[in-house]
Amino acid sequence: MTKALLGGSDLSISPIGIGAWAMGGAGYKFAWGAQSDDDSIAAIHRALDAGINWIDTAAVYGLGHSEEVVGKALRQTSHRPYVFTKCERVWNADGEISKSLKAESIRREVEASLSRLQIETIDLYQIHWPEPEEDVEEGWSTLAELKAEGKVRNIGVCNFNVDQLKRAEAIAPVTSLQPPYSMLRRGIEAEILPYCESRGIGVIGYSPMASGLLTGSMSVERAAKLPADDWRSRSEEFQEPKLSRNLKVAAKLGEIGARHGRSAGETAIAWTLRLSSVTAAIVGIRTPAQADGVVGALEFRLSADEISEVEAVLS
């Protein structure tokens, strides 16, 4: 397995990282439905044992619960992965989520995240969304201060466009960008990836398997039965007419992966890692079996002919 430095940091990261969004469980707007904490912790341990060396979570996932699960998993293993988390999404006593990039809010958030994770320093602290946009400068300046103070080792952003990246860079260097990236969401290829590569900004793409659509385990029947507290039940990608097209892509990925003893999901991840401008991919897991189903992507890569096969289906 070949590791890569993340942007201008000293973090040498594995090609895929553990995504802890779904581990937050149910009970809030962007939930994946109820989860087993024991399964989530076991999934983290299985992935770490396989060589994955970083975890990405966020304060808002499960309204703090995902960070608590990650913290518990860290206390139960001798592995010490890099821990990435995020600020900007905040919530009140009723669980209503709002947006804040005010310095005072971010300082409260970082202390709360450190407490839930039970660590002394966050390896990568990220602005979750550039919202409210008029406060991007204040938010990024605050992250730069937290780095100088030693609360966090590196600072990055998520879901920023090129203009927003430039505004942040005018204040302090950006270690990394975390954008959505899969063969079903390719919007970053035209401008964002070339810009990040030219500036030495690391890119860690999220949802490379399109939130489960490209794993090979999704079907029309399963999509129809997604529970109401799973946000995917409200997504157009999981409904017709897009669903059948997406499943056709997944079938092709399964066909290509089978030639190498790999899953459709591992093939989808490998596709996102075909570009030198993409440092690594965030892969969501919730069970040890799901971890087993993706760790092959640590080393599996597609040939030029196989990439062309995928492009033919996409076109």
Options 61, 82, 125, 206, the catalytic residue? 61
CA distance 112 to 136: 21
Q: Is 195 marked active-site?
A: no
Nearest residue to 105 via CA among 69, 59, 169: 59
Q: Catalytic site residues?
A: 61
